[in-house]
Amino acid sequence: MSQIQEIRIQLEGVGAVLKSRRFGVPAYQRSYAWEREHIEALLNDVSEAIKNKEKEYFLGSLVVTGPVDHRYEVVDGQQRLTTVSLVIAAIKDIFVRDNDMEVVMSVRNDYLSSTDRKTKEKEPKLVLNEVDNELFQELIESIPKVENTRFARQSHKRLLDAASIIFAYFEELCKKSKDAEADLHDWLDYLESNLKVIMVTAPDDSNAFIIFETLNDRGLELAISDLLKNYLFHRSGDKIEETKNRWLSMVAVLESASDDPLVVPFLRHFAMSKYGLVREKELFGLIKKKVTTKKLALQFSTDLRDNSKTYSALINTDHDFWGGYDSKVRDCAGALNLLGMVQIRPLLLAILAHFEPKQVKLAFEKLEAVAVRFLIVGGTGGGSLERIYSETAKAVSEEKLTTASGVVRAFSTLPTDSAFQLAFIITTVSKQSLARYYLRKLEEFGAMPADGELVPNKDTGRVNLEHILPLSLGEEWSKNWSADDARAYQRRLGNLAIMSAKINSSLGNEPFETKKSAYKKSSFHFTNTLSASKRWDKAAIDSRQIEMAKLAIKVWSVGG
């Protein structure tokens, strides 16, 4: 009861909250996440509330701990606090533009920053995490003066977009208003007194995390990553700092791997690598069932940190992680990315965690072949593939599957050689990167000299894709090809070839007889043999693709 009594709950205007307190966002909290739709919804809702003279508009809950050194730590609510601060900053900047400096100083000192009377240094009302704070403070100082090019992170882009949207909103409001100054003051008054938040102040993190999970049910804020993070912190007890550090390390690794948000996909794929198929909405409930003690929370946070490095390497195949494996493992990981096989990542995580390097190499080579077969044959949707891969991953993690051949045998719906060959014969490829991949692999496997020196260059500036029947038909081509037949065959794999970019650039839609002399100069087998064809018609494309299909079942073999 003593702890419960220490928790304070107050209903206050968000402006008054900023006016009377200082806040800090801890390093472990996610960076700014609101998108245009959330910004515009807030602006439009508050505008309507002001217009309709509504006494209150409820913004949500704000959960904090502290204060420590006169600053409260934000456990939940940083998105709203940050956005409201940007709204106030934009209004202040309109007054700057109009040279009303008395109002500018009043707004700045009340809601955005104050001067410490002892140190005489500026003290921001809100400090964000290390990733976002420098930009945020510059925006609070002056939105129009911020140099956008200096800030490249995804959260920076969202902050800059938010500030731009908000500032443009108030510029437009002032243009349409009969009394712009009065309207801006109405906004500030409403933010201070009528835009309400439930402010929950807890004595420590443990209490705050429980409240966070209980109160926060507002959609965007109910992020899986936030819920899981706060649950792990709560479960860690007096080891919370260790868990915080591991979580921070995980986030840093994932952010360095891609500009796209990776935390939630990683959390889900990691869970699937251990427990089988998990839908995103089921993830938090599953982890709560699995992680029930301090020891388990610490172990889980360690596993997240360690596996985030592996996950990062799967996405960024230049990662030094691959130095401990045969170079073909790295190549296979890159090929799976090219094929768009995101669903396979739980299985790759499980294999890398449980197989020794030799079996990893064998497994990755087979999984590349499996992925191509599923892709070429089709009929297996993304959801079905996800289930297949995740259930196999679970079996690997439980050590029911311990070899590459065992993993392949686990795929009960894997396309057979005959089904794969038949599908390959009629394959059409729209993505040039995929077409180059298929042709390069066929060339490497079946047409290289015995010494293996000729390997098709992956650099599209050196070796690129040639459409033998061109995408744009010239006069000569149109004599023998109808528009409908051309559309049906232009992107057939049998109509495509890889060749030197220098030679290819001069061919364009030249007649086939003209092109043949260039093909004859090519060192690539499947390109060079084109010179033996007397004409390039549907039968020639079909015949060439049949030969490719015969080789394909060997290139992407799943036997052995």
Residue 224 amino acid letter:
I
Domain boundaries, the chain: 2-215, 223-316, 326-415, 423-555
The angle, 0 to 180 degrees and rounded to 10, between the axes of the packed helices 432-446 and 327-338 is 140
Strand partners of residue 24 = 73, 127
Is the distance from CB of 312 to CB of 304 less than 8 angstroms?
no
Residues 6 or more apart whose CB falls under 8 angstroms from that of 195 comprise: 13, 14, 15, 46, 49, 57, 59, 84
State the average pLDDT for the chain.
Answer: 86
Taking the C-alpha atoms of residue 213 and residue 548, their distance in angstroms, rounded to an integer, is 57
Q: Which pLDDT belongs to residue 15?
A: 92
* Confidence band of 28 (pLDDT split at 50, 70, 90): confident
Helix (H/G/I), strand (E/B), else coil: 134: helix
pLDDT tens for 340-378 read 999 999 999 999 999 999 999 999 999 999 999 999 998
3-state percent breakdown (helix, strand, coil) of the chain, nearest 5: 65, 10, 30
Tell me the helices (H) and strands (E) count for the chain, helix number first. 27, 10
Residues 6 or more apart whose CB falls under 8 angstroms from that of 370 comprise: 408, 411, 414, 558
Q: Which pLDDT belongs to residue 3?
A: 42
* Confidence band of 518 (pLDDT split at 50, 70, 90): confident
C-alpha atoms less than 13 angstroms from C-alpha of 5 in its C-beta half-sphere? 2
Q: Give the DSSP letter string of 257-268.
A: H-SS--HHHHHH
Q: What are phi and psi of 197, to 5 degrees?
A: -130, 150
**pLDDT higher than threshold 50 for residue 531:** yes
Taking the C-alpha atoms of residue 291 and residue 303, their distance in angstroms, rounded to an integer, is 12
Q: Which pLDDT belongs to residue 221?
A: 40
Q: Which pLDDT belongs to residue 213?
A: 59
Least reliable range by pLDDT among 68-82, 157-171, 300-314, 343-357:
68-82
pLDDT tens for 199-247 read 888 776 656 566 655 555 443 344 678 778 878 888 888 888 899 889 9
More confident: 68 or 22: 22
Q: Which pLDDT belongs to residue 171?
A: 94
More confident: 149 or 119: 149
Q: Which pLDDT belongs to residue 506?
A: 59
**pLDDT higher than threshold 90 for residue 334:** yes
Taking the C-alpha atoms of residue 180 and residue 455, their distance in angstroms, rounded to an integer, is 69
In this structure, how many other beta carbons lie within 10 angstroms of the beta carbon of residue 195? Answer: 26
Q: Which pLDDT belongs to residue 328?
A: 93
What separation in angstroms does the CA of 200 have from each of 12, 78, 80, 110, 217?
Answer: 11, 13, 15, 22, 15
pLDDT tens for 400-421 read 999 999 999 998 888 999 999 9
Q: Which pLDDT belongs to residue 209?
A: 62
* Confidence band of 502 (pLDDT split at 50, 70, 90): low
Q: Which pLDDT belongs to residue 542?
A: 95
Q: Which pLDDT belongs to residue 231?
A: 84
pLDDT tens for 120-132 read 778 899 999 888 8
Is the distance from CB of 397 to CB of 350 less than 8 angstroms?
yes
* Confidence band of 282 (pLDDT split at 50, 70, 90): confident
% of the chain beyond a pLDDT of 70: 90
pLDDT tens for 428-471 read 999 999 999 999 999 888 655 443 334 455 554 567 788 999 98
Intra-chain end-to-end CA distance of the chain, in Å: 66
Report for 72-76, 164-168, 498-502: range of highest mean pLDDT: 164-168
Report the sign of the C-alpha dihedral through residues 493, 496, 497, 500, in that order. negative
Q: Which pLDDT belongs to residue 507?
A: 67
Q: Which pLDDT belongs to residue 5?
A: 46
% of the chain beyond a pLDDT of 90: 55
Q: Give the DSSP letter string of 477-512.
A: HHHH--HHHHHHHTTBGGGEEEEEHHHHTTTTT--H
pLDDT tens for 477-496 read 888 899 999 999 999 999 99
More confident: 1 or 514: 514
Report the sign of the C-alpha dihedral through residues 108, 109, 111, 117, in that order. positive
pLDDT tens for 53-108 read 888 888 887 888 888 888 998 888 889 999 999 999 999 999 999 888 999 999 99
Q: Which pLDDT belongs to residue 68?
A: 84
